[in-house]
Chains A and B, each alone.
Chain A
Amino acid sequence: MFRDIFYTIIGFLRTLGAFQLFSLRILANSPSIFVRRFSLVVKQVFNAGAMSLVIIMVSAFFVGGVLGLQGYSNLSKFNAEDSVGAFAAFSLLKELGPVITALLFAGRAGTALSSEIGLMKATDQLSAMEMMATDPLRRVLVPRFLGGVISMPLLVAIFNVIGLFGAHVVAVGLLGVDTGAFWQQMQATLTLPDVYEGILKSVVFGFVASLLAVWEGYNAVPTAEGVGKATTRTVVITAIAVLILDFMITAAML
């Protein structure tokens, strides 16, 4: 029994160390790939970013709409329904935008990345590249990682804008809050550091979500079952990492 615990701990530490080395290799190779194989990166920005737009925009609209409804129904108890714009903007820009986008990104783009890379491994495409003296890490993993890192902050920005639009449609269009009050309250409460906090979160989440997706795919057991497991683990681990990091960043920025 003690042997089991010992080997579990050793195994965990080895995974952690291997992940660090893997991250360093990805980061070290990123600049040269970004400059020299830019077309590969563009393709991945399309896959990870542009293809996620539909799910991001639809979710954002309804999240914003819910904020408008909830904000209105609770703030009107204090006759403060004009502040619904400030309420929605604060929640979206600082918390909901980055976090929900990261979770959706893990579900839409992260799983696609890890299953694609896992299947490449299972069908020996990665080994074939190595035979041809092409480093699969540089040719396959780094462009996908960069695509995620570039897409994530832009997706969060789009999420926030569509979310505000949704809140505006519900609060102003359906519930009759004054347009001027909606925007004026928002602009009076929100400061640039609030916006920067959201952008910082989106950048960090972009790094983490892309790195974890690529890592899980690259280390998948090369069988049908293994690829499936790797895809599941991507979503689970990304969700946990994003929520813990969100807490840490919020605590640090207060």
Chain B
Amino acid sequence: MQQTRSVELGAGLFVLFGFAALFFLTTQTTGSDGFSGDDVFEVTARFENVGSLKNRAPVAMSGVTIGRVRSVAFDPENLDAVVVFEIDSQYGQIPDDSDASILTAGLLGSQYIGIQAGGSDFYLENGSEIEFTQSALVIENLISKYLFNSGSDSE
């Protein structure tokens, strides 16, 4: 009887430890970046070049994530890239002449959309389009520009 009880106690402790570990893994090792994605509105922007922008890349304003990229597509008529992204509706007061640029987190980090506020009295709403955009910096272009310039300088 004594032995059975200690076996049951050991098994119980083991299962408790196991579930505590599972709980730790699911809650502590993964993080949310403060964007829930429940209540959102969609905004479109056209870019000449999106670089390596991916779906679910963050949309940030003043460095704070306020939304995510929904889709990146090529428009064969206007020959540019159409990026649809969603912004948390608690940030519903972004001026509609704000400009969007594609930035890189760190030197080799992933790309995200940064929004810089404009001065308009009207706000971005569901379905509106950001007119002022700035393309991604493509590192190959920069390097080739630098190489060509330095070549012409030396001659």
Residues of A within 8 A of B (CB): 39, 42-43, 45-46, 49-50, 53, 89, 93, 150-151, 153-155, 157-158, 160-161, 164, 184, 186-188, 190-192, 194-195, 198-199
Contact = CB atoms under 8 A, between A and B. Distances in A.
Contacts of B28: 187
A187 B11 contact: no
Given A187-B31, A190-B30, A195-B30, A43 B15 contact: no
| Chain A contact residues: helix, strand, loop or mixed | helix
A45 B14 contact: yes
21 contacts: A43-B4, A45-B14, A49-B14, A49-B18, A53-B14, A53-B17, A89-B29, A151-B14, A153-B18, A154-B18, A155-B18, A157-B18, A157-B22, A158-B17, A158-B21, A161-B25, A186-B29, A186-B31, A190-B29, A192-B26, A194-B30
Contacts of A155: 18
B22 A199 contact: yes
B48 to A, nearest CB: 30
Interface string B1-44: 00010011011111101110110111011110100000000000
A43 B8 CA distance: 7
Nearest to A44: B11
Given A42-B8, A199-B22, A50 B30 contact: no
A42 B8 CA distance: 6
B37 to A, nearest CB: 13
A191 B56 CA distance: 12
B56 to A, nearest CB: 10
Contacts of B15: 45, 49, 150, 154
Given A43-B11, A157-B25, 6 more contacts: A43-B4, A46-B14, A50-B13, A186-B29, A187-B29, A188-B33
Contacts of A53: 14, 17
A50 B10 contact: yes
Interface of B: 4, 7-8, 10-15, 17-19, 21-22, 24-26, 28-31, 33
Contacts of B19: 154, 157
A195 B14 contact: no
B25 A50 contact: no
B33 A50 contact: no
Nearest to B17: A158
Given A42-B11, A50-B10, A157-B22, A93 B29 contact: yes
A168 to B, nearest CB: 12
A160 B14 CA distance: 15
A46 to B, nearest CB: 4
Contacts of B26: 192, 195
A43 B7 contact: yes
Shortest 6 CB-CB contacts between residues of A and residues of B: A154-B18, A187-B31, A157-B21, A50-B14, A46-B11, A157-B22
Contacts of B17: 53, 154, 158
A195 B25 CA distance: 7
Contacts of B30: 187, 190-192, 194-195
A46 B7 contact: yes
Contacts of B22: 153-154, 157, 199
A63 B13 CA distance: 24
